[in-house]
Amino acid sequence: MTLKEEIKRRRTFAIISHPDAGKTTLTEKLLLFGGAIHVAGAVKSNKIKKTATSDWMEIEKQRGISVATSVMGFEYNDHKINILDTPGHQDFAEDTYRTLTAVDSVIVVVDVAKGVETQTRKLMEVCRMRKTPVMIFVNKMDREGKDPFDIMDELEEELKISVRPLSWPIDMGERFKGVYNIYQQSLDLYKPSKQVVTESVHLNIDSPELEKQIGTSLSEKLRNDVELINGVYPEFDNNSYLAGELAPVFFGSALNNFGVKELLDCFIEIAPSPRPVKSEERTVDPYEEAFTGFVFKIHANMDPNHRSCIAFIKICSGKFERNVNYKHMRFNRQMRFSSPTAFMAQKKEVLDEAFAGDIVGLPDNGGTFKIGDTLTSGEDLHFKGLPSFSPEMFKYIENADPMKSKQLHKGIEQLMDEGVAQLFTNQFNNRKIIGTVGQLQFEVIQYRLLHEYNAQCRWEPINLYKACWIESDNAQELADFKKRKYQYMALDKEGRDVFLAESRYILMMAQQDFKNIKFHFNSEF
């Protein structure tokens, strides 16, 4: 297969949603179709000890939620599919934002009973900013929920995108009969089963066979609904979808394996293969011969027996090969990797080559990588678009066991490199402050420090409103500011100046008093 054909058959996407909409369950069912797993573990059930394939950290199994992005690759119908299952919980939003920079398209999962929720709206804004193509899967049709037409209106209004149903449900809850696949003109009848796949009957909607399958009144309702859909919604247009303007909508029940295959079949047909990526110097085309890629995520301790870090690299162009020298832009030196890995959640295997669109894991034991690092075949390029946002919650982190200060230091350093949270060192008293987006992250940090690094920490309160990165062309004014705000100045992990504002009012006054200082609320400036 030529380089172009290999890249063309790649599909790299993220699954995003509010917690509990069934994202991890959908991921599992997609893997089931790809033959990547042979039995789906019930995510929530404690009776079945096989927990979800994509949730493998101990704390995830205890809580029944995903706290880190997992990467899974498998083959399906001559296509190579790379799924990134993201945390839905808002406390881990930053991990999800970064993941969205590494994918070519997105599947949004919406719960039919709850409709569009806050977190889904936020993530959709990131997709809109990046013009990422979006597909929507309305899940849990085997439970009572909102009317499908109301759901369609809500999707348009809340996600600010045009929608077009490509499948349509026949009733819901206990009366749920199945879906009519508008895209392929087939009827998929529902038989609840978590393990096997339902049969579909190819038939025209006007065929009398429909009555035999679902009865007279449902047949009539379905025909009217489909007529209404064709009248109200625009024809499905692939270019509008690729431009991020139109979202195709599917209905189903991921837990019962229903409607997932239709979603996947349509997805590999219409979803984009790897797309061009902007770097600071130029736009990189995926079909270029030369390899380029960037680190969008770092994960410590994927294997608890070895204290290893893995850097996840999204390949932007060309072909990546094992044991070949590549240029690490930040260090400006050549590096080679003897054991790059491909992932199936926690299981990983060494690979010899990978292509644009793939996600590769590179072992990183000496802190070689940071989020945003670029690797190339030699050209000087820097990929952008990996922001750190200003945290909203702050606590002092203190060592609870003086004998383990070395372990604590190492643990904090590795977890911060992962982008779990942000570390600021107060210049006034040298105390370390951890900033996060949500309360749950403090628990995760404490848990992981103890279980992965054998280090105990305790949290102490600190009253802060926001951290802002500051810079100025006026050196005198910057020096005056730092002198006046000495107690509230800190350095981030990269040694950049950060102002820790106690309240909104203090921040506003600082902005008014120091006109020549720029206050940034994310670390990309």
Predicted confidence (pLDDT) per residue in 205-224, tens digit: 777 777 877 888 888 888 89
Q: Which pLDDT score, from 0 to 100, does residue 185 have?
A: 79
pLDDT at 43 over 60: no
Cβ neighbours of 322 (radius 10 Å):
15
Give percent of the chain above pLDDT 90: 27
Res 163: pLDDT = 92
pLDDT of residue 150: 92
Instruction: Report helix, strand or coil for 99.
Output: helix
CB of 390 closer than 8 Å to CB of 468: yes
Residue pair 70/56 in contact (Cβ under 8 Å)? The answer is yes
Q: What residues contact residue 409 under an 8 Å CB cut-off, 6+ apart?
A: none
Type and span of the H or E element at 374: strand 374-376
Residue labelled with tokens 């209106």: 153
Spatial distance between the Cα atoms of 398 and 433, rounded to a whole number of angstroms: 9
Element (H, E) at 347: strand 347-350
Determine the average pLDDT of the residues in 407-417.
85
- Residue 403 clears pLDDT 80, i.e. is over it: yes
- Pick among 2.40.50.100, 3.40.50.300, 3.30.70.1290, 3.30.1360.30: CATH of 277-376: 3.40.50.300
**Cα separations in angstroms, 86 against 9, 45, 296, 465:** 23, 21, 13, 28
Q: Per residue in 300-319, pLDDT tens?
A: 654 555 556 788 889 999 99
Judge residue 334's burial from the number of C-beta atoms within 10 Å of its C-beta, 0-12 exposed, 13-18 middle, 19 or more buried: exposed
Single-letter residue type at 155: L
Where are the domains positioned within the chain? 3-176+234-270, 277-376, 393-520
Q: At residue 399, what is the residue type?
A: N
Give per-residue burial for 222-235: e unless 16+ CB within 10 Å, then b.
Answer: beebbeebeeebee
Of the listed ranges 30-44, 125-139, 287-301, the one predicted with least confidence: 30-44
Within this chain, domains 3-176+234-270 and 393-520 share the same CATH topology: no
Least confident of 3-7, 113-117, 232-236, 362-366: 362-366
CA atoms of 523 and 525, how far apart (whole Å): 6
Whole-number pLDDT of residue 209: 77
Of the candidates 396, 380, 398, the one whose C-alpha atom is nearest the C-alpha of residue 500 is 396
Q: What is the CATH architecture of 393-520?
A: 2-Layer Sandwich (3.30)
Answer whether 35's CB lies under 8 Å from 73's CB.
no
Beta bridge partners of 201: 187
CATH of 3-176+234-270, picked from 1.10.540.10, 3.40.1390.10, 3.40.50.300, 1.20.120.80, is 3.40.50.300
CA distance 304 to 265: 37
Tokens at 480, concatenated: 């005056």
- Measured between alpha carbons, how far is residue 395 from residues 144, 479, 501 in Å? 43, 27, 14
d(Cα 408, Cα 452) in Å, to the nearest integer? 10
| Interior angle at CA 127, CA 328 and CA 259, nearest 5 | 110
